[in-house]
Structure formats: C-alpha cells, structure tokens
Amino acid sequence: MSKHSKNRQWLEKRLLPLLEDRTLFVGVERYTKDYHKIVSGTFETIDIRKSMAKYGSPHKHHIGDIVHFGSLYSYDNIIMFGLFGQGHSQTNNMKRILKIHQKMDSILANGGLLVSGHRCGAEISERKWRKFFKQDPMSTYKVEYENVLDRQYIWVGRKK
C-alpha cells in the first residue's frame, strides 16, 4: 500500500476499510494490488491494460474498457481513483469521462457509493471538476464527501 500521498492515505485508511458487499475498483497499479485485503466483501477490479492483470484482484479481475463493461449484477461501491487528469492519461476528454461516469451509474446499485478521485492541474482544473459533478447523473447523487488533497479532487456520492 502507498505511504506517500495524502489522497492515497485517505483512500487506504479512511475509505476502503469502510466498504462492504460488492466493490468494483477501476484501474490498477502495483500499489493497488493489496486493496482486496482492506475491503470487506467481494472486491473486483478492471483495467484496460492486460499487462496490469497481475495487480488485479485475486477474487475477480476484468480486462477491458470500462465503457463497454458488461456486468450481470450491480455493485454496491465503485471506485475510480487517479484515472483522469494525469499527464499520461488517455482519458482527459470530458465527454469520455462523462460517458464513463454514466456507465458507472448504470451498474451501481441504488444506495451505492461512487468514489471519483482525479488530478487537478493544467489539463483539468478543480473548477472544471466541481462543474463536472453538478451534471447528470452525478447531480442526482447525495454528496457525502468532496475535497482536494494533494491536487487530487475527490468526490464521493451515494446514488439515490
């Protein structure tokens, strides 16, 4: 687990231990490989890169584009943390980011938690992120947490 950034510490120490039931974590890296040990319940991962499968959940890891992900069931928690706004990211297009959030909304159970944490910077400012989360489907969620830690805009909403 990561020990360097405040936003990762928040995720690992404050959020993940609270999650129960069925969780989908979108995007994996070497520092996320043990996240399944922190979460109670079923923990699944998905990443578009086949090479990252070794860091995916041992319970269930999916390989593919999240926009085209077909799930037979809904999730109680969906976490997207650090996917957007990164210099290396191919997902800095706000229309694509909205499409991804719409997809997440379609597979999130009513009452489920959507966690979205993304880099603020030259490509996507904090102001842009705040505006982004005021549109549908996120505007229908109850916002449970919203903050910026280490230039990471974090938004947590519960689906009504």
Q: Which residues of the chain have pLDDT under 70?
A: 1-4, 85-92, 122
**Three-state SS at 61:** strand
Given this model, what pLDDT does residue 85 score? 62
Could you give the angle at the alpha carbon of 80 between the alpha carbons of 40 and 66, nearest 5°?
105
Nearest to 154 by CA among 64, 52, 79: 79
- The domain locations on the chain are 1-65, 113-145
Residue pair 43/77 in contact by the 8 Å Cβ criterion:
no
Summarised one tens digit per residue, pLDDT across range 24-63 is: 999 999 999 999 999 999 999 999 999 999 999 999 999 9
CA dist 40 and 140 (Å) reads 27
